[in-house]
A and B are shown apart, each in its own frame.
Chain A
Amino acid sequence: MITTTTDLRSLTEMVGGDLLDVSNLVPANFDAEEYQSKPQDVLRLRNARLVVRVGLDYDLWFDRLLQAAGGRDIQRGGGGYVDASYGVAALEIRGVSLGTGDGHAHGSANPHYWLDPRNAELITANIFAALARIDPGNVKIYEANRQAFLARLDRKITEWETRLAPLKGMTIVAYHNSWPYFARRFRLDFAGFLEIKPGVPPTPSHLAGIIQTMRKRGAHIVVRESHEPDRDVAFVAQRTGASVVVLAATVGGLPAARDYFSLFETNVGALIDAAGPK
């Protein structure tokens, strides 16, 4: 079983339990949008019975890799192919999808949908459906695993929502726009982003605008992911007196974020710590 990212790996493991051997292509803490595949990846895909990808144009490089690997079952439309974004309500749709379409053109929406824990229900449903196709003998075990996972997730979401309640409406600025799904679930206000387009450094008037917004709204949290540059974030934080919070947008993004649950535990804890004393 191959997934593109660590998040999907963690979710696939939640459904598969001990029955599956799951590995991810993009290492933890690596920007999956800029991943360059290696020869070994093709080999690993040749032996894979199930592939799970993020979709929404997030891992476009995966298409070419699949082509190189061959094997009809794991190609788009095959029994072992899972686009985990299927059925997810996408946010911030602005452009038209760049990927090779398969009928449900989802447009280039914001792809960080796994950061809304409620979306895990749909993601695991997609994974479960594929597992049921390729391994019908163990369907009952997969179903039981998934139900146990969802029950635990449900309790946890309530807990996280309660813990983050004091931060409701608090203005936060982030480096990259990874957080709309997270913000929607936990009712946080991400008011601006330092990075306008991936790979393009912020312009002076954009930074000035962000600083002005932060001062006006009394924002005192700037979020960055651990693989993002700290200089620009530190610059803004220093000018506004805000504190920098490093969050994990993927499993493994921080050492403490070992699986899908601890990913949210870590982020919730970091945000509360940053907002707490003020």
Chain B
Amino acid sequence: MIEAIEFLWPPFLVAVCLVGIHVYFGIQVLARNVIFVDLALAQIAALGATVAFMLGHPAQSLATYGYSLGFTLGAALLLAFTRHWAKRVPQEALIGVIYVVAAAASILLIDRAPQGAEHLKQILTGNILTSGLGEVAIIVPLYVGVGLVHFLLPSRLMHAGSLFWEFVFYSTFGLVVTSSVALAGVLLVFSFLIIPAIIGVMFASSPSKQLAIGWAAGTLTSAVGLAASFVLDLPTGAAIVCTFGAALALAGAAYPFFRGGRLVTLGIAVRVARWGCAAVIAGSALQLAFAPRGDQPLMDMLETVAPSLRSLYFTEVEAATYRESNEYAERHRLAAEQLIELERRRRTQGEALDDIEVRRISSFMKSYVEMRKGEHFVMAEVRARARERIRWPASLSLVALALLIAPLPWRRLGARLPHRFQPVLRASQRSTVDR
């Protein structure tokens, strides 16, 4: 636990700083409807750095930073202009063009200087996990400065105005994005920018409240994402982005409940859920009936969670074969791993293995890999045959289950049927109502 905190608090601090400035810009970006502008600006900055690199400047030098900044300011000017053209063509289309052309131009330049590829990747990917106090010391003064400009000139910068103020908006935004993308990568910066801002805009209408909600949501989600990345052993940036996605889904699900008519909303939610379940079950029934040897996502998922479910439709022989193959496959995997480990150990410990011994180990490893593949084939075949055998009764039961779950208007359907079916229908009706 202490180890986790020791490891995660510097990236958390960086995330808080990034959330702080990006939520503000995110609300602005949403209002201006220029959602992907950060990607375009980051790509332009990367292009500038690539040009500097081509001209022989080292990666971290002032000259490289200068080129990067120069390109970003140029793009800011272009964006300020497009605001005025954007009467007939949406500005977002032009932003897309800037992004694509800048990305392609960087690839063309890099092609002439291969050692720049890594440099370009670093500008655009970042890794929040390995960022720390050194970075915080650089970004905090920058963000405070930019924040101050926007705090002092809110009326000029909040709404689309003259060319000059548009330029100021985009160039300050470019400054922020250039530094944050190098730190956290494009995916994460986009999430910081847009998702908390959407949540803020969803639940409040005054800018200050939107900002407060966005900050709270962004900070909390970053903390959850970082923790999840540590506990579940996932790459940090990607884990945080997915957590932000989940947070937005959660906020979206909660949204109707905050907008009056809670009981009505609950009713709709239950109906949607029932239809959804019924559709998934009916789809699985069709898949099982007509392609029993193909993938069965629902069955596979249930069997992964509870392998004992297989005993419902495996015969004893099938169950035994499946179990044995599984054990053998695991044994072969372990044997291959042991050989790899043995070879690795003998590189430094004891007598070195000679080439003939290594060759033998190598051919044993190949055999184990092939044997394991064979066992997996047996497992898949046993399962496919068992499913083929039960496909009709199983898929018919699944269809029946889907019909029971779906919120079908039984009463209305029943009224249209001839009189002699009525008692049967009434019985089924009662059972659905009871549930």
Contacts and interface: CB of A to CB of B under 8 A. Distances in A.
Interface of A: 27-31, 38, 89-96, 105-107, 109, 118, 168-169, 180, 183-184, 187-189, 200-208, 226-232, 234-235
18 contacts: A89-B359, A89-B361, A90-B366, A93-B336, A94-B340, A106-B366, A180-B344, A183-B348, A201-B235, A202-B129, A203-B236, A204-B8, A204-B129, A204-B230, A207-B130, A208-B4, A227-B117, A232-B127
A203 B369 contact: no
Given A27-B114, A93-B336, A168-B348, A203 B365 contact: no
Nearest to B111: A38
B347 A201 contact: no
Contacts of A203: 229-230, 233-236
A50 to B, nearest CB: 24
Given A169-B349, A180-B344, A231-B130, A91 B358 contact: yes
A204 B355 contact: no
Contacts of B362: 89-91, 93, 109
Given A180-B344, A200-B235, 14 more contacts: A90-B366, A91-B343, A91-B362, A93-B340, A95-B369, A96-B370, A96-B373, A107-B365, A107-B366, A118-B355, A169-B349, A187-B348, A205-B233, A231-B127
Contacts of A89: 355, 358-359, 361-362
Nearest to B60: A230
Given A91-B358, A187-B352, A229 B118 contact: yes
Interface residues of B, number: 44
B230 A29 contact: no
Given A30-B117, A204-B7, A229-B121, A183 B347 contact: yes
B335 to A, nearest CB: 12
Interface in B105-160: 111, 114-115, 117-118, 121-122, 125, 127, 129-130, 132
Interface in B1-16: 3-4, 7-8
Contacts of A28: 114
B20 interface: no
A94 B369 CA distance: 7
Nearest to B130: A235
B141 to A, nearest CB: 22
Contacts of A189: 347-348
Contact of A226 (B115, B236, B336): B115
Contact of B230 (A91, A205, A231): A205
Contacts of A91: 340, 343, 358, 362
A227 B122 CA distance: 11
Contacts of B122: 229-231
Contacts of A205: 230, 233
B115 A184 contact: no
Contacts of B365: 90, 92-93, 107, 109
B174 interface: no
A102 B115 CA distance: 34
Contacts of A109: 362, 365
A226 B343 CA distance: 28
A31 B114 CA distance: 9
B114 A29 contact: yes
Contacts of B7: 204, 207-208
A175 to B, nearest CB: 11
Select the residue from A28, A107, A207 with max chain B CB neighbours within 10 A: A107
Interface in B211-243: 226, 229-230, 233-238
A204 B229 contact: yes
Interface of A is mostly: loop
A96 B366 CA distance: 8
Contacts of A232: 127, 130
B115 A29 contact: yes
A180 B358 CA distance: 12
Contacts of B3: 208
Contacts of B129: 201-202, 204, 207, 235
A201 B347 CA distance: 28
Nearest to B236: A204
A188 B347 CA distance: 7
A125 to B, nearest CB: 14
A192 to B, nearest CB: 11
Contacts of A169: 348-349
Contacts of B355: 89, 118
A206 B362 CA distance: 28
Contacts of B238: 201
B352 A201 contact: no
Question: Considering the complex of A and B, which 4 residue pairs feature the smallest CB-CB distances, nearest first?
Answer: A235-B130, A93-B365, A30-B114, A89-B359
A205 B230 CA distance: 6
A118 B235 CA distance: 37
A230 B343 CA distance: 30
A90 to B, nearest CB: 5
- Of B125, B130, B336, B370, most buried by chain A (CB within 10 Å of CB) is B130
A227 B118 contact: yes
Contact of B127 (A90, A188, A201): A201
Nearest to B128: A201
A89 B353 CA distance: 12
B234 A92 contact: no
A70 B231 CA distance: 51
Nearest to A110: B340
Interface string B227-265: 001100111111000000000000000000000000000
A184 B233 contact: no
Contacts of B234: 203
A150 B362 CA distance: 25
Nearest to B359: A89
A244 B118 CA distance: 17
B138 to A, nearest CB: 14
A202 B340 contact: no
A114 B267 CA distance: 67
A94 B339 CA distance: 11
A232 B128 CA distance: 10
A25 B149 CA distance: 51
Nearest to A26: B114
Given A106-B366, A201-B236, A206-B233, A184 B343 contact: yes
Contacts of A227: 114-115, 117-118
B292 to A, nearest CB: 26
Contacts of B358: 89, 91, 184
Contacts of A207: 7, 129-130
Interface in B27-81: none
